[in-house]
Structure 1
Amino acid sequence: MDYKHLLFIALLSLLACCTIMFLVWLWAKKIKNAGVVDVFWALNFPVITTITFFLAEGSESRKLLICGMFLIAELRLGIHLWKRVIGHLNEEEGRYEQLRKEWGDKADRNFFFFFQFQAISNVILALPFFIITANPSTEISILEYIGLGIWIIAFIGEMIADNQLAAFKKDVKNKGKVCETGFWYYSRHPNYFFEWLAWMAYFIFALASPLGILAIISPAIILYLLLKVTGVPNNEEQNLRSKPVAYKKYQQTTSAFFPWWKKG
C-alpha cells in the first residue's frame, strides 16, 4: 500500500471539498440560507468517490463495488436534501436560523468556518474508501459481502424513512403533529439510524483490507455527530420549539435513535 499516494488522494479531495464549500458559503451568504450546506456536505462525497476511483491503485472490481455503493447512497441523500431545501430557499431551516440569531454580526464569519469544517469532515469520514480502494487483492472476501448486505438494508431503510416523513409533512392535515408512521413509530430519528448503519457497513467492508480497523473512525464520528452535535440535538430543539406538547409526549414514548418498541 502506497501511503504517500493515499495522502495525495486525501489532500486532493480536501482541496476539492474546501473549494466547493467556499463557493457554497458565498451562495449561502447571498441568499441568507445556510441550510444549503447540508446538501453539499452529502454531494461532496461523490466528488471524493470520483477522485478516489480514478486515482486509487487497488483492485478495479473492488473499486467499482465500493465506489458504486457510496455514489448511489450519497447521491440519493444529496438529491433528497436538495428537494427539501430548494423548496424554501427564502426560508432558512430553524436550526440555522437559531445559529444566525445567536451569532449576530459574526454569523457570516462563523458560517464560513462551519462550512469549511464540513469539508474537512467529508475527507476524514472518507477514510474507509481510501483504505478499501488501495487494496490490491482481486478476491472479494466474506467480510466485504457482509458489509454489502448491511449497506443494502441501511440504504433501503433510510430511503423508506425519508419518504415516510416527506409524505407525512406533505399532508396539510398533519401540520403541528408528530410523524409516528412506519419507522418513525419505533425511532424519533430512523433516518439518522440508517445513515449510521451505512457507515458501519463501510467499516465492516474495510476490515478485509490492510489497516481496515482504522476505518472505525468513520461510524464513530458519525454516531457522535448525530447523537451529540448536529443531528438529534438540533432536530429535537427545533421540534420542541415548533410543537412542544406533541413532541414532548413523543420523546417520552419513543426511542431517540435505535428503533425499539414504544414505552408504556
Structure 2
Amino acid sequence: MPFQIEHLLFIALVSLIACCTIMFLVWLWAKKIKNAGVVDVFWALNFPVITLITYFLSEGFETRKILICSIFLLAELRLGLHLWQRVIGHLEEEEGRYQQLRKEWGDKVERNFFFFFQFQAISNVLLTIPIFIITANPSTKISILEYVGLAIWAIAFIGEMVADQQLAAFKKEPKNKGKVCDTGLWYYSRHPNYFFEWLTWMAYFIFALASPWGILAIISPSIILYLLTRVTGVPNNEEQNLRSKPEAYKKYQQTTSSFFLWGKKDG
C-alpha cells in the first residue's frame, strides 16, 4: 500500500478534534476548581489518545506501528502519571506559575486560559507528526535509522525518569526545604528532565527519517526545544525558583547549565 498524505492528514484532523474536546472539558473542570495546573496532566495524557487513534486508523507496516506506538505510549503514560501524582494530589494548591498568570491576566483570566488550553491541544497534534509519518510507512524493513532512534529513545526515557525521581526524593526530605536540588543529574543541568524530554522527541525525529516525508518530523523537537527553553518550561520554572529561593538559585544559575548536561562553570 503506497504512502498516502491525505490519509495522514485525516488522522491528524480526528486527533485534533479529540484533543480540543478533551481540553475544553478540562478547562471547564479547571475553572470550577480554580486550578489551571491540571492542563499539564491532560496535555501528557492526550498523547495516548492520539496514539490509539493513529494505531487503529493508520495503514503502515504493522510491526513498525506496534513498535513506535508502544514506546510513544509508554513515554507519555509515564509522564502523565508523574504529573498526575504531582498535580492531582494537590488540587487545592495551584502551581506558582499559574497563580502568576492569574495575576497578570486579571479579569480576562478564564478567557485566556480557554485559549491556552486549546493551544495545548493543537501542540499535541503538531508534536505527534513523527508518529503520523512513521505509522504510515508501508516498508516491511526496519532500517538502521529506526534502530538508532530506538536507542536514543531508551537513553532519554531512562534519563527523564531518573531525573524526576531524584528531584522527588530531594523534595521529600524536610531538611532540603528552601534548598536547590543540585545532586545527581541536577548537578550537570538545572533542568535535566526537560533535556531528556527534548531528547525523546529527537529520537522520534531520527526514527521518522527512515519514512517518506520523514524530514517534516523535525518540527516536533524544534517546537519542544522552543517551548521548554523559551516559553513554558525553563523560564517559568526559573522565575518560580527565583521567587521561592532567590539567593540559592542565583548561585545555582551561575554554576550550572540551564538545559544541556555540561560540567560545572565557575561561579
User: Normalised by the shorter chain, which TM-score bucket?
Assistant: over 0.9
* Superposed CA offset, 1:61-98 (max 9, x none): 00000000100000000000000001210110000000
Cα drift, residue 220 of structure 1: 0.5
Identity among equivalent positions (%) equals: 83
Number of residue pairs the alignment of both structures matches:
264
The AA in structure 2 aligned to 1:54 is F
Secondary structure of residue in 2 paired with 1:14: helix
Distance between the aligned counterparts of 1:112 and 1:144, measured in 2? 38
Distance between the aligned counterparts of 1:3 and 1:225, measured in 2? 27
* Superposed CA offset, 1:21-51 (max 9, x none): 0000000000000000000000000000000
Task: Show the counterpart of 1:86.
Answer: 88
Task: Show the counterpart of 2:21.
Answer: 19
Cα drift, residue 181 of structure 1: 1.1
Q: TM-score, normalised by structure 2?
A: 0.98
Task: Show the counterpart of 2:57.
Answer: 55
Q: TM-score, normalised by structure 1?
A: 0.99
Match of residue 220, structure 2, among 212, 218, 225:
218
Cα drift, residue 5 of structure 1: 1.0
Task: Show the counterpart of 2:7.
Answer: 5
Task: Show the counterpart of 1:69.
Answer: 71
Distance between the aligned counterparts of 1:86 and 1:46, measured in 2? 18
Task: Show the counterpart of 1:245.
Answer: 247
Structure 1 gaps, min length 5: none
Task: Show the counterpart of 1:179.
Answer: 181
* Superposed CA offset, 1:206-260 (max 9, x none): 0000010110010001000001000000000000000000000000000000011
Match of residue 162, structure 1, among 161, 164, 188:
164
Secondary structure of residue in 2 paired with 1:87: helix
Task: Show the counterpart of 1:194.
Answer: 196
The AA in structure 2 aligned to 1:185 is Y
Task: Show the counterpart of 1:142.
Answer: 144
Secondary structure of residue in 2 paired with 1:258: coil
Structure 2 gaps, min length 5: none
The AA in structure 2 aligned to 1:121 is S
Runs of 4+ aligned structure 1 residues displaced above 4 Å come to none
